[in-house]
Every structure is written in C-alpha cells, then in structure tokens.
Amino acid sequence: MVNILSWNCRGARKPATRRYLKALVDSHSPVVVCLLETRLAFFSRRDVDRLIGRHWDFVFSLAEGKSGGILLLWLSHLSVTVLTSQKQFIIVNISYAAKESWVLAAVYAHKDYLIRRHIWDGISSHLTDSTPAIIAGDFNCILSQADKKGGKPFRLLILQNYMLLSLLWS
C-alpha cells in the first residue's frame, strides 16, 4: 500500500508545522506529501531539507500574498513527472516500483467560486480512463450542510456536478 499525506498546514515555515509534519511522516510513512495553503512566495531545497528531510524531491506553486500555495513532496526513489503546476493545483504522474503508474492532483482551490470553477477543466484534461488518479486537497467546498455552521447556505451542486461528470466519487 502507498500512503499519501495531504494537509492544509496554513503556513509551511512555522516551527509548529515542521514539528507536526515530522510526527505525521514518522507515524504514517507517506511516500507523497501534499502541503496546502503554504503561504510561501518561494521554497528552496534547503527549506525542504529543514522541513521534512533530505530524501524528498518537490515542486511548489506560489502563494498569492498570504493565501494559497501548494508544496508537493515525494520520496526521491519515486519517478515523478510534473504534468502541470498552476496556482490552484499541481498535477504529477508517479511511477512506483517501476510498474505502477498513476496521476496525482494536489489542489488548493480559491475561495471565490468564479475563480475556483476553472480548476475542474484543468484537472480533467490530465485524467484518462487507463491511468488511476487521486485528487487530494482543499477544495474550499463542502459536500453536506452538516459540515457547515452558520453563514449562507452552501451550493452542493458545484462539486456534485463535477464528480458526476468525471465519474469521481469521494
């Protein structure tokens, strides 16, 4: 089994983030880590080494001001091809043990629906019927009114329509 960790860390340079991430990696042994809402304008090899260790490769998508940002990390022995890196998602093809290949999309969707709605087309263009795919992240969208407290009623149709059109299920 392959373990993947996806976490909205709300700031990747905080000391508490580093400590908690190391504890998560130690206890779950993931081969891929998706950090969302990193709030980073730049992330270097040295930053990765300090955050998670030296055996990890990475790609990142810049934050806009103090919002957003995606850092996708994978163990160096994996064969990873970056298919696209956008502000709201990073999509990679991962080959594991030289035989299994799958697509991973790490998503941090914008809070504004008018901006967020375009990610589905961008993700769909990299999915095929023949390659397994995992879409992980923070979609800034909920599936049930029970998941929401107060405020305006949510619009379930947005995410449901995409899931049905793409034959995805959570």
Superfamily of domain 4-141: Endonuclease/exonuclease/phosphatase (3.60.10.10)
Question: What's the pLDDT score for residue 22?
Answer: 96
Question: What's the pLDDT score for residue 20?
Answer: 97
Rounding to the nearest 10 degrees, give the CA dihedral for residues 81, 86, 87, 90.
-30
From first to last of the 170 residues of the chain, give the pLDDT tens digit: 789 999 999 999 999 999 999 999 999 999 999 999 999 999 999 999 999 999 999 999 999 888 899 999 999 999 999 999 999 999 999 998 777 899 999 999 988 878 887 888 889 899 888 899 999 999 887 767 777 777 776 665 555 555 555 555 54
Please, what's the largest Cα pairwise distance for the chain?
A: 49
For residue 59, CA distances in Å to 89, 146, 152, 156, 158 come to 11, 35, 36, 31, 29
Could you tell me how far CA 138 lies from the centroid of its own chain? 7
Output the pTM of the full model.
0.87
SS3 9: coil
> Looking at the chain, which runs of residues are DSSP E strands?
4-8, 32-36, 56-61, 70-75, 79-85, 89-96, 100-108, 133-138
Question: What's the pLDDT score for residue 168?
Answer: 55
Tokens of 84: 């696209």
Q: Are 73 and 52 in contact (CB under 8 A)?
A: yes
